[in-house]
Amino acid sequence: MAIEDKERWDKKYQNKDGPTKPIKIVKEYASLAKGKNALDIASGMGRHSKYLQRLGFEVDALDISSVAINELKNIPGIHAKEVDFDTFTLPVNRYELIVCTYFLNRALFPQMIDALKAGGIILLETFLHDEENEREPSNPAFLLNKGELEYFFDLKCELIYIEEWWGTDHTGAKVMKISMVAKKK
C-alpha cells in the first residue's frame, strides 16, 4: 500500500472539512446509467457515494483512506472498502456507472472500461495541464494532457460530453479542468 498517500489522506479526512456537495457532472449525468450498480473511485468522504445512494444506486465506494471509508460504513446501499489503487484490480463487467473525480491513475483507465457493463457510463473530472494554471500539483503526473482522455476512451466508448474549462482548486488558484461523460460501446 502507498503508505505515504494513505497517511496524507487519513490526516486530511480527520478534519472532515472536505466538499460535501456532488459536482455538476455527477448531478447532470448520473441518470444516464441504465442500472443501479455504481462505483465511486477515490470516494473520499463520500459526497458522490451518498448522492448516488440517495438516487437508489448500490455504490461501491473505494478509497485509500481508512478514515474516509469508516465514515461511509454502515450506510445502507454504500459498500465502502479501503484499497490501494496501485495494486487493486476493479471487477469486470459489474457497473452501470463509474464516478472518478479529482483522482488520476492512468493505469485505471482500461480497468474502468472493463468494469463497466455494455452501455455503462463513466463520469470523470480532473485537472488538466495548461501553462496558465496558477498552481501546479505536487506531482505533474496528477495532470492530464490535452487530448489524453479522448485517446484512452474514444476507441471503446462513445464520448457523450467532454469539456475543458477554467475553475479553481481548493486553494482558490485558477486551474484548467476537464470533464468527460463516456458510454461503453
Give per-residue pLDDT as tens, 133-148: 998 776 778 899 999 9
Residue 15 confidence (pLDDT): 79
Q: Which one is predicted more confidently, 185 or 169?
A: 185
- The C-alpha cell of 76 is what? 445502507
- Three-state DSSP class for residue 72: helix
pLDDT band at 11 (very low <50, low <70, confident <90, very high): confident
Number of domains in the chain: 1
Alpha-carbon distance values, 10 to 69, 130, 144, 180 (Å): 10, 30, 25, 28
pTM of the full predicted structure? 0.93
Q: What is the pLDDT averaged over residues 22-26?
A: 97
Residue 1 confidence (pLDDT): 52
Find the domain containing 56 and state its range.
3-184
Give per-residue pLDDT as tens, 45-93: 999 999 999 999 999 999 999 999 999 999 999 999 999 999 999 999 9
- What CATH number does the domain containing 151 carry? 3.40.50.150
